[in-house]
Amino acid sequence: MSMKSVLTVAALGTLLAAGAASAQQAPNPLDAIPDKMPFDIPYGAPISLEKAEAALSAAVADAKKRDWKMNCAVVDSGANLVAFQRMDGAQLASISIAEHKARTAALFRRESKIFENAIQSGTHYVMTLDGMIGSRGGIPLVEGGRMIGAIGCSGGTGSQDEVVAKTGAATINK
């Protein structure tokens, strides 16, 4: 074996040992065990059409005021579509995205922004969760401490979608 080969093998061995040592030293934050279950909002009766339409009306009015063209969807506590509005000129791709954001918020009982934050912070395993979308703009609708549905908005930037969805959610989340 040549001297260059010996040095290469030695260098690789040192790198592997250093990598293994540093991997053992860094604790995985996902190993922490919370005392209480996070996002443990009990499911309630499904949102009524009247309340779903009120949430959509508020969201669309806010979007119109800002001259943002949005698609907005409300799902019930079982993540089934109850009501939907597509503003004139809103992009077609955002129809299914708005529904997906609402379903994510209902199924996971949390804002869809939490998944966006997880992905951006390097917690990539969340991308393997069925039915998840990692984009803000999906907000649970909670009445009397129970989740009755969720609203999702899409068509602008994520921050614009979130503003409009929160306006719609404010009709329920008081």
Whole-number percent of the chain with pLDDT over 70:
86
Q: Is the pLDDT of residue 4 over 80?
A: no
How far apart are the C-alpha atoms of 3 and 151, rounded to whole Å?
66
Domains identified in the chain and CATH numbers = 49-169 (3.30.450.150)
Whole-number percent of the chain with pLDDT over 90:
78
Q: How high is the mean pLDDT of the chain?
A: 90
DSSP symbols for 51-119: HHHHHHHHHHHHHHHHT---EEEEEETTS-EEEEEE-TT--THHHHHHHHHHHHHHHHTS-THHHHHHH
More reliable by pLDDT, 166 or 31: 166
Quick: pLDDT tens for 68-126: 999 999 999 999 999 999 999 999 999 999 999 999 999 999 999 999 999 999 998 99
**Local confidence band at 25 (pLDDT 50, 70, 90 cut-offs):** confident
Predicted confidence at residue 18, as pLDDT, reads 56
Cβ-based neighbour number of residue 31 at 10 Å: 6
**Local confidence band at 129 (pLDDT 50, 70, 90 cut-offs):** very high
How far apart are the C-alpha atoms of 144 and 77, rounded to whole Å?
14
